[in-house]
C-alpha cells in the first residue's frame, strides 16, 4: 500500500506528507518504507513488481489518489470516456523532477481551455499562474465537483483542489504518470481497478486510508502508520470479503476500495392514470379482488438516498445489502474453556497446557502443537492448531495439565467463520423496513451506510361542513373531527410521514385548493368523508372531474364506497367519513398500498386462527371486520357493530375477519384474528 505525495523531495529525513509504502506478505507487515521522491518511488515499484512477477506471486498495489476524475473530464481532454486515455494524457504533459514539477502550470493550462476559472483551483506557488484561481471566490467548474464515490466518502477532498492541507489534486496529477508508465512497462501483467478485469498478476487499486483510520499512535508518522494498517487490513480479508469490496462498477471515475457501492439514486416513474380502474361489469368488488388490483397497479414512488446505518431504523432498504465481512469473521470459541485439535476419543483425557491464552480481540500469536491445549475465552479467534474447545466446567486443571472425559467431536464449542452470515451474501433484501435487530446484523457484517427510500409522505384531510376541532366550541349539528388525529397517528405508526392538511368544508373550490396544496407536499393523500356518490360528496365529484377517479364499491363491512384517484399525479384514497369505516379501510386497503408505494412491498397482515368467544350469523356476499380483542385465548368482539361506535375501535386490540360467504360462528369455532400490531401499529 502506498501513500502518495504531489510535493517535492525534502531530503533523507522521514517526514509526514511524503511517499510511504508498506508491504504485507502472508499477513506480516514489513517495515514501512520512506520514499523521498517520486523517482525513487517509481524505481522501487518497478523493482517490486519485477521481483514478485519473477517469484510467480500476485500483488495488490494500492495508491491513495483517485484513478479517475469526475465524469466528463476524460472526454473533454481526450475525446473518449476512457480514464486510461487520461492517464496517457497526463503522462505526456506532466514534467517531474525531485525538486520541481509543472503541476500548477498544467492545471492553469487546462483551466484556460475551459475559460480559466476552473475546474482546478488553488495555487501553491508564490508566482501567479494564468488561469489558476487562488481561491474559490471566482471559481467556476464545468465538471461535477465530486466523483460519485466522494459523495459517499465523507471528508474526502476533490481532485480539483491543487494545494492546501489534505488536498489531493496535486497527487493525482503527479501519480497517474508514474502508474501509467508502470502499466505500459509491464503491459499484460497489470490490471487497473475498477476499469479492467482483475485477471492479471498485478492489480492497481485506489485506497483512501483516512476513510477508516484516525490519528496514528504517539510517536508514529501518520502516513507510515496508515499504509501499514491498510495493508494489514486488506491482507486479513478472506477472498470472498475482498471480492465483495472489489465488486463495483465505476466505469469512468474510479472508486475507493472499501466504500460500499449502493444502487444509484433513482426517481421512480409516476403512477399510471388508470391505476385505479377496476374490472368492468363488477358491481360489488370482493375485497381480495380489490386488493389484487392495488397490488398489480401500484409500485414504489419514493426516490432513494444514502444515510448512516445508525440513523436508518424504520427506513426501507432501496437495494439488497451485501455483507462486506463474514459473521463471525474468523472461527472462534463459543465458550470459556480450553482449545486443542479435535476430535477426542472416548474416556479420560489428560493434556498439557501451553503458556498463554486467547481472548476476544486478543488473539494468541503462535501455533498450538498437536496434543496440547490452550486457555481460550468466549469470542477468541481460534489460533492455529485449535479447532475444538472443551467447556471450562468440564475440566480439572492441575500442574499445567487439563483432565476431562471424552469423547468430543471435532469443532465442538466453536463457531465457524461465516456460520451466521458469509461475506458476499445478501444480509437483508431490498424492501426491508429496518428494525433495531437489523441494525445489529448490518453492523456485524461491516455496513455503516445504507441506501434507503425517502420516507413516504402521506397527507391527511378531513372533509365535512359539520366538523370542528376538538377543544373548539361546537354548535348544534357540529361534531369534532375524530378521523384526522386517528389517521395522522396511524400513518406515523405504520412508518410513513404524516402531513396534516387540516379540515376543509364541503365546498368544491376550497377542497380543490386543499388537494392542490396536499399534492405539492405529499406523495399520497388520504381524505375522509365525502367519498360516496351523494350531493355533498365533493371528494368523489372533484376526482371524477379530474378524470382519474374510480368509485370502488367493495363488498366489505364496515365501509361504504372508497374513492380512489389521482390528483396532479398524486394518488388519493378517499376514505369513508365514518371513523370505524375509515380505520378499517385504512388498515385493509390503504396500508398495503402505502407499503407498496413506500418500497417495502405488499405486506399482508399476519393473522391467527383462534377460538371465538362470541356467536354471530352472517349473510353471504361481503367480508366483515369486527372490532375484537383476545382474552383468555379467545377472541371477543365489541358488543355493538354500530359503525358510529368509536369507543369500540378504542376498546378493540385488533379485528376479526369473517370471510365473504355465509357463516354462523358459534363460541369455540375458529376465527381469524388480526391484531392491530399485524398492521404495523
Ligand atoms: P360522509 O362520508 O362525509 O357522508 O360522512 C359519514 C359520516 O361520518 C357522517 O356522519 C359524518 O359526520 C361522519 N364524519 C365524517 N368525517 C368525520 C370526521 N373527520 N370525524 C368524525 N366523524 C366524521
Ligand atoms: Mg361529509
Which domains can be identified in the chain, with CATH numbers?
1-266 (no CATH), 332-415 (2.170.190.11), 457-586 (3.40.980.10), 608-679 (2.40.340.10)
> CA 320 to CA 420: how far, in whole Å?
17
Residue nearest (by alpha carbon) to ligand 1 atom 3: 529
DSSP letters for 504-559: E-S-HHHHHHHHHHHHHH-SEEEEES--SSSTT-HHHHHHHHHT-EEEE-EEEES-
CA of 528 to the centre of ligand 2 (A): 8
Answer whether 228's CB lies under 8 Å from 22's CB: yes
Who has greater pLDDT, 664 or 276? 664
The ligand minimizing its distance to the Cα of 485 is: 1
The lowest-confidence range among 61-70, 169-178, 533-542 is 533-542
Mean pLDDT of 345-349: 95
State how far Cα 270 lies from the chain centre.
Answer: 24
Report the candidate in 259, 197, 238 with the shortest Cα–Cα distance to residue 416.
238
Pocket of ligand 1 (CB under 6 A): 462, 464, 466-467, 479, 481-484, 528-532, 576-579
CA end-to-end distance (rounded Å), the chain = 51
Residue nearest (by alpha carbon) to ligand 1 atom 16: 577
Residues 6+ apart with CB under 8 A from 585: 556, 559, 562, 573, 575, 576
Whole-number average pLDDT of the chain: 91
Answer whether 477's CB lies under 8 Å from 540's CB: no
The ligand minimizing its distance to the Cα of 467 is: 1
Mean pLDDT of 613-630: 95
Residues 6+ apart with CB under 8 A from 165: none
CA of 672 to the centre of ligand 2 (A): 32
| Measured CA angle at 121 (ends 1, 17), to 5 deg | 30
Residue nearest (by alpha carbon) to ligand 1 atom 14: 577
Residue nearest (by alpha carbon) to ligand 1 atom 10: 578
pLDDT at 489: 98
Q: Ligand 1: which of 577, 584, 585 to mutate, most ligand atoms within 8 Å of CB?
A: 577
The ligand minimizing its distance to the Cα of 577 is: 1
Answer whether 433's CB lies under 8 Å from 314's CB: yes
Q: Is 368 exposed, middle or buried (0-12, 13-18, 19+ CB in 10 A)?
A: buried
CA of 464 to the centre of ligand 1 (A): 7
Residues 492-513 have pLDDT tens digits of: 999 999 999 999 999 989 999 9
Query: At residue 264, does pLDDT exceed 60?
Result: no
- What is the number of the ligand 1 atom nearest to the C-alpha of 462? 19
| Measured CA angle at 618 (ends 612, 622), to 5 deg | 115
Residue with grid cell 377460538, as numbered in its chain: 611
pLDDT at 388: 97
Q: Which three cell numbers stand for residue 286?
A: 370482493
The ligand minimizing its distance to the Cα of 558 is: 1
Report the candidate in 627, 628, 570, 582 with the shortest Cα–Cα distance to residue 481.
582
Mean pLDDT of 181-209: 95
Answer whether 158's CB lies under 8 Å from 146's CB: yes
Using omega within 30 degrees of 0 as the cis cutoff, is the peptide bond preceding 194 cis?
yes
Residues 6+ apart with CB under 8 A from 397: 353, 403
- What is the number of the ligand 1 atom nearest to the C-alpha of 581? 8
Residues 601-610 have pLDDT tens digits of: 999 999 999 9
Who has greater pLDDT, 554 or 169? 169
pLDDT-derived band at 417 (thresholds 50, 70, 90) equals: confident
Report the candidate in 133, 223, 134, 129 with the shortest Cα–Cα distance to residue 171.
223
Amino acid at each position: 500500500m502506498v501513500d502518495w505525495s504531489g510535493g517535492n523531495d525534502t531530503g533523507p529525513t522521514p517526514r509526514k506528507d511524503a511517499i510511504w509504502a508498506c508491504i504485507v506478505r502472508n499477513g506480516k507487515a514489513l517495515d514501512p518504507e520512506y520514499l523521498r521522491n517520486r523517482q525513487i518511488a517509481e524505481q522501487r515499484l518497478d523493482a517490486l513488481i519485477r521481483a514478485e512477477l519473477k517469484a510467480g506471486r500476485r500483488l495488490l498495489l494500492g495508491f491513495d489518489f483517485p484513478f479517475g476524475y469526475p465524469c466528463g473530464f476524460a472526454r473533454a481532454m481526450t475525446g473518449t470516456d476512457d480514464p486510461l486515455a487520461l492517464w496517457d494524457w497526463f503522462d505526456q504533459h506532466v514534467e517531474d523532477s525531485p525538486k520541481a514539477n509543472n503541476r500548477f502550470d498544467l492545471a492553469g493550462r487546462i483551466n484556460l481551455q475551459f475559460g480559466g476559472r476552473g475546474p482546478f483551483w488553488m495555487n501553491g506557488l508564490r508566482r501567479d499562474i494564468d488561469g489558476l484561481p487562488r481561491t474559490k471566490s471566482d471559481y467556476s467548474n464545468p465538471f461535477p465537483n465530486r466523483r460519485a464515490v466522494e459523495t459517499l466518502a465523507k471528508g474526502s477532498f476533490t481532485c480539483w483542489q491543487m494545494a492546501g492541507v489534505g488536498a489531493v489534486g496535486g497527487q493525482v496529477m503527479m501519480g497517474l504518470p508514474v502508474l501509467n508508465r508502470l502499466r505500459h512497462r509491464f503491459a499484460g501483467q497489470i490490471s487497473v481497478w475498477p476499469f479492467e478485469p482483475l485477471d492479471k498478476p498485478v492489480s492497481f487499486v485506489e485506497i483512501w486510508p483516512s476513510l477508516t483510520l484516525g490519528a496514528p499512535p504517539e510517536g508514529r508518522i501518520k502516513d507510515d502508520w496508515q499504509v501499514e494498517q491498510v495493508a494489514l487490513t486488506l491482507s486479513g480479508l478472506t477472498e470472498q470479503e475482498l471480492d465483495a469490496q472489489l465488486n463495483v462498477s465505476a466505469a469512468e471515475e474510479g472508486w475507493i476500495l472499501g466504500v460500499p457501492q449502493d444502487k444509484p439514486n433513482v426517481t421512480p416513474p409516476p403512477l399510471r392514470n388508470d391505476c385505479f380502474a377496476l374490472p368492468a361489469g363488477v358491481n360489488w368488488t370482493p375485497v381480495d379482488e380489490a386488493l389484487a388490483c392495488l397490488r398489480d397497479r401500484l409500485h414504489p414512488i419514493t426516490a432513494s438516498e444514502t444515510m448512516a446505518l445508525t440513523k436508518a431504523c424504520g427506513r426501507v432498504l432501496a437495494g439488497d445489502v451485501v455483507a462486506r465481512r463474514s459473521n463471525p469473521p474468523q472461527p472462534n470459541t463459543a465458550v470459556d474453556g480450553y482449545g486443542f485439535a479435535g476430535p477426542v476419543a472416548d474416556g479420560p483425557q489428560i493434556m498439557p497446557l501451553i503458556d498463554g491464552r486467547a481472548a476476544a480481540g486478543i488473539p494468541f500469536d503462535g501455533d498450538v502443537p498437536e496434543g496440547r491445549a490452550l486457555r481460550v475465552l468466549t469470542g477468541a479467534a481460534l489460533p492455529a492448531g485449535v479447532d475444538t474447545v472443551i467447556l471450562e466446567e468440564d475440566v480439572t486443571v492441575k500442574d499445567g495439565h487439563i483432565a476431562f472425559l471424552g469423547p468430543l467431536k471435532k469443532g465442538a464449542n466453536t463457531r465457524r467463520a461465516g456460520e451466521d452470515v458469509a461475506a458476499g451474501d445478501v444480509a437483508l433484501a431490498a424492501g426491508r423496513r429496518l428494525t433495531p435487530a437489523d441494525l445489529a446484523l448490518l453492523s456485524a457484517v461491516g455496513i455503516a451506510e445504507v441506501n434507503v427510500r425517502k420516507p413516504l409522505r402521506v397527507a391527511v384531510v378531513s372533509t365535512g361542513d359539520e366538523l370542528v376541532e376538538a377543544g373548539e366550541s361546537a354548535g348544534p349539528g357540529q361534531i369534532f373531527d375524530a378521523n384526522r388525529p386517528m389517521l395522522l397517528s396511524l400513518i406515523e405508526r405504520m412508518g410513513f410521514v404524516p402531513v396534516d392538511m387540516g379540515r376543509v368544508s364541503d365546498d368544491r373550490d376550497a377542497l380543490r385548493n386543499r388537494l392542490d396544496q396536499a399534492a405539492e407536499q405529499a406523495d399520497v393523500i388520504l381524505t375522509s368523508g365525502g367519498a360516496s356518490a351523494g350531493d355533498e360528496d365533493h371528494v368523489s365529484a372533484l376526482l371524477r372531474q379530474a378524470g382519474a377517479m374510480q368509485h370502488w364499491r367493495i363488498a366489505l363491512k364496515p365501509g361504504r364506497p372508497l374513492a380512489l384517484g389521482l390528483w396532479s399525479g398524486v394518488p388519493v384514497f378517499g376514505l369513508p367519513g365514518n371513523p370505524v369505516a375509515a380505520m378499517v379501510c385504512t388498515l385493509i386497503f390503504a396500508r398495503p398500498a402505502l407499503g407498496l408505494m413506500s418500497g417495502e412491498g405488499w405486506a399482508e397482515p399476519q393473522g391467527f386462527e383462534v377460538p371465538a368467544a362470541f356467536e354471530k350469523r352472517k349473510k353471504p356476499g361481503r367480508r366483515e371486520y369486527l372490532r375484537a380483542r383476545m382474552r383468555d385465548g379467545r377472541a371477543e368482539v365489541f358488543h355493538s357493530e354500530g359503525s358510529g361506535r368509536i369507543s369500540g375501535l378504542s376498546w378493540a386490540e385488533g379485528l376479526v375477519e369473517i370471510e365473504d360467504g355465509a357463516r354462523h360462528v358459534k363460541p369455540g369455532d375458529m376465527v381469524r384474528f388480526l391484531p392491530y400490531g399485524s398492521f404495523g401499529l
